[in-house]
């Protein structure tokens, strides 16, 4: 996929101003949907803002919600940047969560300081492995990673559901048994759910941005994504780089699962991911595949989602309204050629 | 169910019948997508269009009391969705995969929202009365194939008609020739004087309408209700079926049947209490899809022009004004004969 | 209008009196953003005439023809037949008016048969379902009448280039075209095939068809036409009857001055062997020929030119040497070291530079800046990176030096590659490759799509490198270029290298291209 994301924009701010305009447009359009049901869209949006920023707890909830989305969007960005579609970040997230919970029971009796890092590494590895299969099938056999990664999503959820209902069941809640307290991620602000995985997500974004812009690996990756013929011509090890990138992308999504388990729920519940993977795709596209912008866009979307919970509680409007708004926004973006596919 | 029962026809015939039933929505979705892809448009959004078709079909059938009205409405809903998709990809050069994924998010969200807001206060899960099976006289009494193929709901018989229609359309009509050319060499089609953009829009609309129908068949004809997440990846499986079937209607239908049988098989296994963990059973269709895609990918080739938008012409308004008012649209050169 | 009756009328018209008409573009202008492609161009065509439109790359001749065929709309001006203005806003309109175009890149669908390609979009073969048998007989009769040999059942992808062109011409006739526009028709033909084309065109002119030929090749323009026009930088310079103007006058009009004296090649005695291919075999793929038993040697300070029409294996040979294509047998040696099937990165690092044929696909990344493109091949040399992190300062300095040394016209080193003209893009590629001080330079179609100034520049660079002791493999379909630059010339035909005598003539080269000379190269 060759999007004009590496082109040095003479007018760097124009796309983003246009983007802001589109956000307003999509909010208006979605608001129009509410009118026939007899609801005032302005008050709905006000409720969203209140729900998102009305209290310290709300703001930390925004950050909490943003954390997995940042990671899945980075996962998508890393893959997209070398021309591969990672639509499987949801499934990779689940595998990361499964690995986290599995180690989190600490059946092996690891010492306390080693447990959390071990869980993180296992989550990354599990996500990477879950991504490695589609990568191999694509690079070796030419199988469409679009289809394979989506299939792997369904498989991952199936496995997770089985574990929750079967071998790892807690017996009480629709979730697995809890992990040991040594496996809890430290909380950043007491009294909130904001945990250290948020820092992990920010760090990942910074690292990815640096790698893409300033390293040889990143240069090669970008070249592969923009013009694979040129990359081959220059002798770059195309398949090796793509495989590594895709596996790391899976690992990043695995870390998202790690954060949810070790930082929020402390077990693996059914429905762990309300579509973090697909939201990650939306964020990646809106951020034009830029890791740093992805953090900001992820935060914005997270605030929107958290705020919409407040809106639902206050006004009874279902939260799926917000996902419609996201989708309308990106359709508008698509229609303006900001993301035009170039030959 | 024991191992020995696997050899008996009394196992296979009902399995085949179930397979035909399960395959029906897949055939609809795949046939439509095959036409769309032949023209060069890959529509990963059919999952969302199926969901849209399911909710629209269900709602309309519920309110009107007639199933076929619901099916019609679903087809139209799918058509509208694919027109949006087509507009963005054909006329705005948007990447087909990106747009398709976004359509999925949008349509899945919309369907879920619609169902929740309309039935939120209901205490009972809304249901439709099932359409009775129609046994074709004489044909349904044939040994082995009689029951599976000729004792089904009427929608299945519609499939039997659709397959040869699609085959004729794609392989033996002028429109189909243009579509096949559009997927391989769009410049040739343009140069031949065909409006390739509208041609592709037509093809993708067929795909969308069929996807909407497929979703409605699932909801209205087969299950009789709408459930969130009911499509469960069938739209993506249809993408694999199209590849497996080599974009040819008969083979696509056969591939869909294969998937239908496998899905019916794993359902039977689940019910029978065989000691296989559920992920392997539920996951069978997905694993089969992965295997198919990996196995076929190397040989099969997507049409050459897939996901390559054909640039629009520079139509400048000022140019139109400069043409003198008395310009003939066509002025054939003098013929040779007197 | 029934297809049968129309064709019958055409067939019967052999005995009809000749009709005359006049087709013209009147003061047509077209701009793409800031670039003026056509400025007030007026050109006309009469029945039974062959009119060549001559101009170098970028002169605007393709644009005016696209407008005539409805693939572009003009910003000003109009098209007329016998003085009556005509609205042609799409190829469909053009076809309806009896205009057909034979494009430079053939508009055939490879997986469909010739017959299906001819039926495509043709409203005369109406109805919903295609009735192939009925149509086949009519088309066969038409082909016979114009003496065009074609196999209607073959898939179009399996035809040779000359055959494809014949099908394209037949396609025009099946649509009832009176006017044919041929865009660079001889670019892919051998000299003998050009003669055959000329005969077909004469046949068409006899039947009172009118033909536009768009080309940048002077001798062919003169050889095939009754009238010739010259376009330069978007304007029509003039139109003359072919028998009343000379080559040199035409050249003057084409470039605005007389051509610079062709680059002089100083006498050099070649040094040690840099590149050697021993009995190399490269498997074929996707209809391309297999290369068998290739033997070739290039010494330091020597330019070896491979002439030959595209599609005979030149591209594959270049790729194999550069490490981009698998060699199945034999050896490739660089200064005595075996590099057969070595990874491309290693071969490039060993001193091979490759200026590829399709720079957009292989040589540059259009969406990257100049800077990012400058380090495409050398991004990991120690000068540009430390421990995997790119040294931006060094890269920027290098790019600035390139821009300066090669006078690359751009808005700055951060300008996207897309914004540069073809010539400037090629300058960057060439400059980048030469800055690596290669031992071997593989230049494939190095001047394709460039204007005369840029072509001259590239030629001078190649000669300079030759003087500096670089071994150069030049692959080009432009015979003049090969003749002017090469110390030795070989021809590639269907995967084999054919040696030629010293200082061969064009006829000898043409004969080798066709297979009349069959000696395969020994130690060429």
Percent of chain C with pLDDT over 70: 92
Work out the widest C-alpha separation in chain B, in whole angstroms.
87
Q: For residues C261 and C328, which has the higher predicted lDDT (pLDDT)?
A: C328
> Cβ C345–A237 below 8 Å, yes or no?
yes
Mean pLDDT (chain C) is 84
Closest CA to B157 of B176, B142, B171, B137: B137
Position of tokens 């998937």? B259
State the Cα–Cα distance between residues C107 and C12, nearest whole angstrom: 30
**In the prediction, which pLDDT does C163 show?**
84
Distance (Å) from the alpha carbon of C471 to chain A's nearest alpha carbon: 20
Question: Where are chain C's structural domains?
Answer: 18-112+160-255, 260-351+438-524, 370-436
What DSSP string runs through B119-162?
HTT-SSPP--PPPPPEEPTTGGGSTTTHHHHHEE-HHHHHHHHH
Alpha-carbon separation of residue B234 from A38, A87, A231, B229, C371 (angstroms): 36, 16, 36, 11, 47
- Spatial neighbors of C337 by CB under 8 A, at least 6 apart, are C350
Residue B34 located in a structural domain? yes
For the ranges A312-326, C63-77, C139-153, C431-445, the lowest mean pLDDT is seen at A312-326
Distances in whole angstroms, Cα of residue B223 to Cα of each of A209, B135, B235, B283, B286: 48, 20, 17, 20, 21
In this prediction the pTM is 0.86
Q: Give Dmax (Cα) for chain C.
A: 82
Q: Is residue A293 a part of any domain in this protein?
A: no
Nearest to C416 among A8, A216, A223 (CB): A8
For chain B, percent of residues with pLDDT exceeding 90: 50
Residue A166 has pLDDT above 90, yes or no: no
* Domain count across chain B: 1
pLDDT band at residue A36, thresholds of 50, 70 and 90? confident
Answer yes or no: is A209 within a domain: yes
Rounded distance between C-alpha atoms, residue C354 and residue C359, angstroms: 11
State yes or no: pLDDT of C110 exceeds 50: yes
Q: Measured between alpha carbons, how far is B320 from C184 in angstroms, rounded to an integer?
A: 29
Domain contains A263 = yes
Q: Which burial class, exposed, middle or buried, applies to B226 when counting CB atoms under 10 A from its CB (0-12, 13-18, 19+)?
A: buried
* Tokens encoding C502: 């010293």
Q: Are residues B49 and B211 in contact, defined by beta-carbon separation less than 8 angstroms?
A: yes
The CB density around residue A46, as the number of other CB atoms within 10 Å, is 14
> Are B293 and A1 a contacting pair at CB < 8 A?
no
Q: What is the pLDDT of residues B169-205, one digit of tens each?
A: 999 899 999 999 999 999 999 988 889 999 999 999 9
B41 vs B34: CA distance, rounded Å = 9
Q: What residues have CB less than 8 Å from A104, skipping those under 6 apart?
A: A115, A119, A179, A180, A183, A261, A262, A266
Q: Rg (Cα) of chain C, in Å, rounded?
A: 25
CA-angle at C459, arms to C455 and C462, nearest 5°: 140
Q: Residue B320 pLDDT > 70, yes or no?
A: no
Q: Under DSSP, is residue C81 helix (H, G, I), strand (E, B) or coil? A: strand
Pick from A226-240, B317-331, C113-127, C167-181: least confident:
B317-331
Percentage of residues in chain A with pLDDT exceeding 90? 54
DSSP 8-state code for residue C59: S
B219 within 8 A of B51, measured Cβ to Cβ? no
Q: How confident is the model at residue C117 (pLDDT cuts 50, 70, 90)?
A: very high
Quote the domain boundaries for residue B212.
16-135+142-308
**Looking at residues C213-235, what average pLDDT do you find?**
88
A153 close to A133: Cβ distance less than 8 angstroms: no
pLDDT band at C257 (very low <50, low <70, confident <90, very high): low
Q: Is residue A323 part of a domain?
A: no
**Residues in A lying within 8 Å of C, measured between beta carbons:** 2, 4-8, 214-217, 219-220, 222-223, 226-227, 229-230, 232-237, 342
Is this complex scored with an ipTM above 0.85?
Answer: yes
Burial grade of A109 (CB within 10 A; 0-12, 13-18, 19 or more): exposed
At residue B324, the pLDDT reads 46
As beta bridge partners, residue C51 has C212, C227
C251 versus C68: the higher-pLDDT residue is C68
Orientation angle between helical segments A89-104 and A145-165, nearest 10 degrees:
30
C362 compared with A129, residue with greater pLDDT? A129
The answer on pLDDT for B255 being more than 50 is: yes
Show the tokens assigned to C292. Answer: 């068998």
Task: Please give the share of chain C, as a percent, with pLDDT higher than 90.
Answer: 33
B317, pLDDT greater than 80: no
Please check whether residue A298 is in contact with residue B87, taking contact to mean a CB–CB distance below 8 angstroms.
no
Residue of A331, A337, A338, A340 for testing the chain B interface, max B β-carbons within 10 Å? A331
Query: What CATH code would you report for C18-112+160-255?
Result: 3.40.50.300
Phi, psi dihedral angles at A107 (to 5 degrees): -70, -20
Q: Are strands C179-183 and C210-215 parallel, antiparallel or unpaired?
A: parallel
Q: Which long-range contacts (CB under 8 A, 24 or more apart) does C408-415 make?
A: C408/C370, C410/C370, C412/C370, C413/C369, C413/C370, C413/C371, C414/A8, C414/C369, C414/C370, C414/C371, C415/A8, C415/C369, C415/C370
**Structure tokens given for C460:** 């001078």
Of A86-95, C37-46, C146-155, the range with the lowest mean pLDDT is C146-155
Task: For chain A, give the number of residues.
Answer: 343
Quick one: DSSP state of residue C164? H
| pLDDT, tens digit (0-9, with 9 covering 90-100), for B233-248 | 999 999 999 999 999 9
Q: Which domain holds residue A99?
A: 74-287
Distance in angstroms (rounded) separating the CA atoms of residues C438 and C349: 9
Task: Give the pLDDT of residue C10.
Answer: 44
Residues of chain B with Cβ-Cβ distance to C131 below 8 Å are: none
Q: Any idea what DSSP says for residue A193?
A: -
Tell me what pLDDT residue C149 has: 82
Separation between Cα atoms, residue B306 and residue B96, nearest integer Å: 9
Residue B184 to residue C91, Cβ atoms within 8 A: no
Mean pLDDT value of segment B62-70: 89
Q: Is the pLDDT of residue C518 over 70?
A: no
Which chain C positions have a beta carbon within 8 Å of A223's beta carbon? 365, 368, 376
When scoring A1, A5, A8 by the number of chain C Cβ atoms within 10 A, the one with the most, hence best to mutate, is: A8
Looking at residue A134, its pLDDT comes to 96
Asked which of C244-248, C249-253, C273-277 is least confident by mean pLDDT, the reply is: C249-253
Q: How confident is the model at residue C124 (pLDDT cuts 50, 70, 90)?
A: confident
**What is the pLDDT at residue C375?**
93
pLDDT mean over C410-422: 87
Residue A243 is given by DSSP the state H
Residue B321 pLDDT > 90, yes or no?
no
- Cα distance from C320 to chain B (closest Cα, Å)? 23
Q: 3-class DSSP state for residue C291?
A: strand
DSSP lists the bridge partners of residue B151 as B135
CA nearest C102 in B: which residue? B191
Is the distance from CB of C279 to CB of C327 less than 8 angstroms?
Answer: no
Residue A245: pLDDT band with limits 50, 70, 90? very high
> Taking CA A273 as the corner, what is the angle to CA A267 and CA A275, rounded to the nearest 5 degrees?
175
Architecture of domain C260-351+438-524: 3-Layer(aba) Sandwich (3.40)
Q: Looking at CA atoms only, how far is residue C14 from chain B in angstroms?
A: 9
C253 vs B84, more confident: B84
pLDDT tens figures, C161-219 = 778 888 999 998 888 888 999 998 887 787 778 888 888 899 899 888 999 999 888 88
Reduce the DSSP state of residue C188 to 3 states and report it.
coil
Q: For the residues C395-416, what does the mean pLDDT come to?
A: 90
Question: What local confidence, expressed as pLDDT, does residue A5 receive?
Answer: 64
Cross-strand bridge partners of residue C389: A215, C386
Burial class (CB in 10 A: 0-12, 13-18, 19+), B144: exposed
Tell me the CB-side half-sphere exposure of residue B147, using CA atoms within 13 A.
Answer: 13
Which of these ranges, C5-14, C110-119, C205-214, has the smallest mean pLDDT?
A: C5-14
Query: Over 90: is that where the pLDDT of A91 sits?
Result: yes
Instruction: Give the pLDDT mean for C330-354.
Output: 92
Task: Name which of B194, B323, B332 is nearest C98 (Cβ-Cβ).
Answer: B332
Q: How many CB pairs under 8 A join A and B?
A: 136
**Given this model, what pLDDT does residue C12 score?**
41
- Domain of B77, CATH number, reads 1.10.3470
Q: What is the dihedral of CA C416, C421, C427, C430, to 10 degrees?
A: 80
As given in the structure block, the two tokens for residue C94 are 């053009």
Residue C262's pLDDT is: 63
Tally of domains within chain A:
1
| Structural contact between residues A68 and A195, judged by C-beta atoms closer than 8 angstroms | no
Q: Which residue of C has its CA nearest to A225?
A: C365
Q: Which two tokens stand for residue A46?
A: 């006000």
- A 10 A CB-CB count for C112 gives 21
Distance CA C239, CA C55 (A): 12
- In chain C the first and final C-alpha atoms are separated, in Å, by 61
pLDDT number for residue C513: 76
Is there a common fold for C18-112+160-255 and C260-351+438-524? yes
Does the pLDDT at position B40 exceed 50?
yes
What are the tokens at C385?
Answer: 């990176």
Q: At what angle do helices B9-38 and B249-272 cross, to 10 degrees?
A: 140
What is the model's pLDDT at position C232?
85
Contact: C367, A226; criterion CB under 8 Å: yes
In this structure, the number of other CB atoms found within 10 A of the CB of residue C134 comes to 11
The pLDDT value recorded for residue C293 is 87
Residue B223: pLDDT band (50, 70, 90) is: confident
Which phi-psi region, left, alpha or beta, contains residue A201 (left: φ > 0; alpha: ψ -120 to 50)?
Answer: alpha
C472 min Cα distance to partner chain A (Å): 18
How far is C-alpha C302 from the chain's CA centre? Answer: 26
How remote is the C-alpha of A85 from its chain's centroid?
14
């Amino acid at each position: 996929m060759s999007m004009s994301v590496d082109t040095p924009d003479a007018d760097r701010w124009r796309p983003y101003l246009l983007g802001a305009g589109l956000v307003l447009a999509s909010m208006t359009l979605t608001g129009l949907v509410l009118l026939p049901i007899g609801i005032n869209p302005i008050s709905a949006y006000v409720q969203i803002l209140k729900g998102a920023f009305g209290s310290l707890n709300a703001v930390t909830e925004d950050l909490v919600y943003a954390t997995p989305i940042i990671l899945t969007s980075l996962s998508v960005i890393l893959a997209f940047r070398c021309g591969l579609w990672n639509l499987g970040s949801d499934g990779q997230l689940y595998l990361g969560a499964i690995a986290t919970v599995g180690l989190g029971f600490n059946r092996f009796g690891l010492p306390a300081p080693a447990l959390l890092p071990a869980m993180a590494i296992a989550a990354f590895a599990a996500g990477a492995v879950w991504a490695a299969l589609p990568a191999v099938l694509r690079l070796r056999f030419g199988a469409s990673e679009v289809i394979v990664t989506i299939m792997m999503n369904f498989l991952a959820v199936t496995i997770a559901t089985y574990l929750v209902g079967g071998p790892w069941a807690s017996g009480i809640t629709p979730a697995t048994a809890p992990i040991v307290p040594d496996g809890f991620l430290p909380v950043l602000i007491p009294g909130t759910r904001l945990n250290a995985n948020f820092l992990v997500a920010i760090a990942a974004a910074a690292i990815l941005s640096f790698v893409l812009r300033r390293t040889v690996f990143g240069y090669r990756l970008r070249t592969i994504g923009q013009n694979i013929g040129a990359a081959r011509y220059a002798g770059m090890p195309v398949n090796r780089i793509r495989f590594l990138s895709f596996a790391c992308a899976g690992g990043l999504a695995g870390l998202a699962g790690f954060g949810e388990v070790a930082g929020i729920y402390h077990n693996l519940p059914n429905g762990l991911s309300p579509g973090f993977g697909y939201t990650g795709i939306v964020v990646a596209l809106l951020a034009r595949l830029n890791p740093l912008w992805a953090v900001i866009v992820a935060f914005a979307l997270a605030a929107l989602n958290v705020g919409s919970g407040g809106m639902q509680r206050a006004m009874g409007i279902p939260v799926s309204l917000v996902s419609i708004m996201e989708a309308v926004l990106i359709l508008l973006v698509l229609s303006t050629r900001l993301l035009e596919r170039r030959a | 169910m024991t191992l020995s029962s696997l050899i008996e026809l009394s196992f296979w015939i009902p399995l085949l019948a179930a397979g035909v039933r399960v395959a029906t929505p897949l055939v609809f979705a795949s046939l439509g997508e095959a036409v769309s892809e032949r023209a060069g448009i890959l529509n990963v959004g059919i999952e969302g269009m199926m969901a849209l078709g399911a909710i629209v079909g269900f709602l309309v059938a519920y309110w009107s009391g007639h199933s076929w009205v619901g099916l019609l409405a679903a087809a139209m809903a799918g058509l509208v969705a694919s027109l949006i998709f087509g507009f963005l990809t054909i006329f705005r050069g948007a990447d087909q995969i990106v747009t398709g994924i976004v359509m999925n998010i949008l349509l899945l969200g919309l369907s879920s929202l619609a169902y929740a807001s309309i039935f939120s206060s209901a205490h009972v899960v809304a249901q439709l009365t099932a359409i009775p099976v129609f046994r074709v006289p004489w044909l349904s009494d044939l040994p082995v194939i009689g029951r599976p193929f000729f004792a089904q709901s009427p929608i299945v018989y519609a499939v039997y008609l659709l397959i040869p229609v699609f085959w004729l359309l794609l392989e033996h009509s002028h429109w189909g020739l243009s579509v096949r050319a559009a997927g391989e060499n769009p410049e040739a089609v343009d140069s031949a004087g065909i409006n390739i953009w509208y041609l592709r829009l037509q093809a993708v609309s067929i795909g969308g309408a069929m996807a909407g129908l497929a979703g409605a068949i699932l909801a209205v004809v087969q299950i009789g209700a709408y459930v969130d997440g009911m499509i469960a990846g069938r739209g993506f499986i249809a993408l694999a079926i199209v590849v497996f079937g080599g974009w040819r209607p008969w083979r696509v239908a056969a591939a869909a049947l294969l998937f239908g049988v496998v899905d019916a098989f794993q359902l039977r296994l689940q019910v029978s209490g065989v000691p296989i963990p559920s992920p392997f059973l539920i996951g069978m269709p997905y694993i089969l899809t992965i295997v198919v895609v990996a196995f076929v990918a190397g040989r099969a080739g997507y049409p050459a022009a897939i996901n390559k938008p054909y640039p629009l012409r520079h139509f400048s308004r000022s140019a139109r004004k400069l043409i003198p008012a008395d310009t003939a649209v066509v002025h054939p050169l003098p013929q040779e004969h007197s | 209008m029934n297809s049968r009756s129309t064709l019958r009328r055409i067939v019967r018209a052999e005995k009809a009196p000749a009709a005359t008409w006049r087709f013209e573009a009147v003061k047509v202008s077209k701009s793409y953003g800031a670039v003026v492609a056509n400025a007030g161009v007026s050109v006309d065509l009469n029945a039974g005439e062959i009119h060549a439109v001559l101009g170098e790359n970028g002169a605007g001749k393709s644009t005016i023809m696209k407008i005539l065929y409805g693939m572009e709309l003009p910003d000003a001006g109009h098209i007329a037949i016998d003085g009556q203005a005509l609205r042609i806003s799409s190829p469909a309109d053009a076809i309806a008016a009896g205009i057909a175009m034979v494009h430079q890149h053939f508009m055939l669908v490879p997986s469909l048969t010739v017959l299906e390609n001819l039926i495509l979009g043709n409203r005369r073969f109406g109805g919903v379902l295609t009735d192939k048998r009925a149509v086949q007989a009519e088309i066969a009769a038409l082909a016979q009448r114009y003496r065009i040999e074609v196999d209607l059942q073959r898939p179009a992808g399996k035809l040779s280039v000359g055959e494809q062109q014949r099908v394209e011409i037949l396609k025009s006739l099946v649509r009832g075209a009176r006017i044919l526009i041929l865009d660079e028709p001889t670019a892919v033909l051998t000299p003998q095939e050009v003669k055959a084309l000329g005969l077909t065109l004469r046949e068409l002119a006899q039947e009172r068809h009118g033909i536009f030929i768009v080309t940048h090749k002077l001798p062919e323009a003169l050889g095939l036409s009754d009238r010739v026009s010259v376009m330069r930088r978007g304007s029509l310079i003039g139109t003359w009857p072919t028998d009343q103007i000379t080559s040199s006058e035409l050249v003057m009009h084409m470039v605005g001055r007389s051509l610079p004296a062709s680059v002089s090649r100083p006498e050099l005695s070649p040094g040690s062997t840099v590149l050697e291919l021993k009995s190399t075999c490269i498997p074929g793929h996707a209809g391309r020929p297999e290369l068998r038993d290739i033997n070739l040697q290039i010494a330091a300070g020597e330019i070896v030119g491979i002439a030959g029409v595209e599609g005979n294996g030149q591209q594959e040979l270049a790729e194999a040497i550069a490490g981009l294509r698998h060699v199945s047998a034999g050896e490739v040696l660089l200064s005595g070291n075996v590099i057969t099937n070595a990874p491309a990165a290693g071969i490039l690092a060993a001193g091979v530079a490759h200026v590829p044929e399709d720079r957009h696909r292989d040589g540059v990344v259009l969406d990257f800046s100049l800077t990012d493109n400058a380090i495409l091949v050398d991004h990991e040399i120690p000068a540009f990176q430390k421990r995997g992190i790119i040294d931006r300062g060094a890269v920027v300095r290098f790019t600035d030096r390139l821009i300066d040394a090669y006078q690359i016209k751009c808005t700055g080193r951060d300008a996207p590659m897309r914004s540069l003209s073809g010539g400037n893009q090629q300058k960057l590629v060439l400059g980048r490759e030469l800055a690596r001080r290669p031992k071997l330079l593989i230049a494939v179609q190095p001047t394709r799509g460039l204007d005369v100034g840029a072509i001259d520049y590239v030629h001078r660079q190649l000669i300079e490198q030759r003087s500096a002791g670089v071994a150069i493999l030049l692959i080009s379909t432009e015979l003049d270029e090969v003749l002017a630059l090469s110390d030795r010339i070989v021809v590639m035909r269907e995967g084999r290298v054919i040696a030629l005598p010293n200082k061969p003539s064009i006829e000898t080269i043409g004969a080798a291209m066709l297979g009349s000379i069959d000696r395969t190269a020994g130690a060429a």
